[in-house]
Structure 1
Amino acid sequence: MTFPASFRTIGLAGAIAAGVLGLSACTTTPSTSAATPTVPSNTRASVDAQVDAALNRLYNTVPGSRELVARSKGVLVFPAVVGGSFIVGAEYGRGALRVDGKTLDYYSTTAASIGLQAGAQSKAVYYVFTTQDALDKFRASNGWTAGVDATVAVAQIGANGTVDTRTLQQPVVAFVLNNAGLEAGVSLQGSKITKIAL
């Protein structure tokens, strides 16, 4: 039996939404509203500690990353973005925005994907804002989407073993670390980032 394209589109959108909600339900984040989910205040220290550990791992894994973050206007760190799927995939993580080494705000990230993927995966994702304009636009947004609200250059390691210098000239530079190290060829396009209250 063949369904009209509109029914297939609605079904696909529903499946994606169910995947994201199902994965979100696995976290400790109770939602008081769809726009601004909140979590218990005692998790601030936990998220901050995870961000510290994730930054240290970045610095120890990627030569030149410490200097880049030190020169940046801000860095948004998601220590553990967890995803799992078979056909419809969903990812979720919580993190913090640091400016001058201090946490300003907390955020969540969600993303959906379609394709044959199996098993749960976890990665750390870092967004480095190299210009004040890029940081200001991010902070002023009411929900920010990578690749829509700003172009995000995913960092690559150059031939000299440090971050490729062409990448460093972009307003928003991202790093993605998995268990094996810096992930190459990854796309963050469509990742939705929302401010949350902790």
Structure 2
Amino acid sequence: MNSLYASTPHAKSLADNSFGILIFPGILKAGFLVGGAGGDGVLFSKDGRVLGYYNVSALSYGLQAGAQNFSEAMFLMTPGAKQYLDSSDGWSVGAGPSVVLADTGMAKDFSTTTVRSDVYAFVFGQTGLMAGLGVQGQKITKITE
């Protein structure tokens, strides 16, 4: 999170106003025409308590090639977003709360009055090379112990 806050200081204000932060510190993505990605993460309350452990997996198809490692942080802004994460069998494209993928330019304009979506996701700390165009679906599932 310190890396995200250093590159995108407004992410800290999102954290302060969120109901939870789901962090995937290392997601590995690789593909050639067909690709896949996966990693494990932790859901924290805004005061830093661990609320659960999750897995993310994704499939993609399109003109793509390469491999990349990155981190992802998802700020759950509403109680409903956290409830959906806890009660569903994972999120997928086209279902569940609205998710906004925020880039650093967009993040500069965040304030408590402009934050209106259920979830804001940041991708950061990318290493490796992955290029191309494609369609991707992502699913987040709670890891049961």
TM over 0.5: yes
Q: Which residue of 2 aligns with 1:115?
A: 62
Q: Is residue 88–residue 113 contact of structure 1 (8 Å, CA) maintained in 2? A: yes
* Cross-structure match for 1:104: 51
* TM-score using structure 2 length: 0.82
Partners of 1:66 and 1:164 lie apart in 2 by 10
Cα shift at 1:116: 2.5
Q: Tell me which of the two structures has the higher relative contact order, counting C-alpha pairs closer than 8 angstroms and 6 or more residues apart.
A: 2
Shift of 1:190: 2.5
Q: Which consecutive unaligned segments of at least 5 residues does structure 2 have?
A: 128-133
Residue 91 of structure 2 corresponds to residue 144 of structure 1: yes
| Among 124, 128, 132, the residue aligned to 1:177 | 124
Aligned-partner Cα distance in 1 for 2:102–2:54: 21
Residue of 20, 40, 43 corresponding to 1:94: 40
In structure 2, the residue matched to 1:56 is: 2
Change in Cα spacing, 1:157 to 1:120, as seen in structure 2 (3 Å) is: closer
Q: Alignment partner of 2:35: what SS?
A: strand
Alpha-carbon spacing, 1:62–1:79, altered in 2? closer, same or farther (3 Å): same
Kindly indicate whether the alpha-carbon contact (under 8 Å) linking 1:146 and 1:188 is maintained by their aligned counterparts in 2.
no
The equivalent of 1:193 in structure 2 is 140
Q: Is the strand fraction higher in 1 or 2?
A: 2
- Give the number of the structure whose residues are more often helix, by fraction: 1
Query: C-alpha distance in 1, partners of 2:135/2:114?
Result: 15
User: In the alignment, which residue of structure 1 is the partner of 2:104?
Assistant: 157
Contact 1:81 1:92 in 2 (8 A): yes
Structure 2 residue 67 is matched with structure 1 residue 135? no
Provide the identity percentage.
Answer: 37
Alignment check: 8 A CA contact 1:156 1:167 kept: no
The answer as to whether partners of 2:68 and 2:126 remain within 8 angstroms in 1 is no
Q: Secondary structure at the match of 2:63?
A: coil
Segments of 5+ residues of structure 1 without an aligned counterpart are 1-54, 181-186
**1:154 maps to amino acid:** L
State the number of aligned residues. Answer: 138
| Distance change >3 Å, CA 133–CA 188, structure 1 → 2 | farther
Structure 1 residues 175, 119: CA separation in 2 closer, same or farther (over 3 Å shift)?
same
Task: Write the deviation string for residues 87-143 of structure 1: whole angstroms up to 9, x where unpaired.
Answer: 110000100000131111100001111122222101111111111122112211122
- The SS at the match of 1:67 is helix
Aligned counterparts of 1:147 and 1:79: Cα–Cα separation in 2: 24
Tell me which residue corresponds to 1:41.
Answer: none
Which has the higher Rg, Structure 1 or Structure 2?
A: 1
Aligned partners of 1:148 and 1:190 also within 8 Å: no
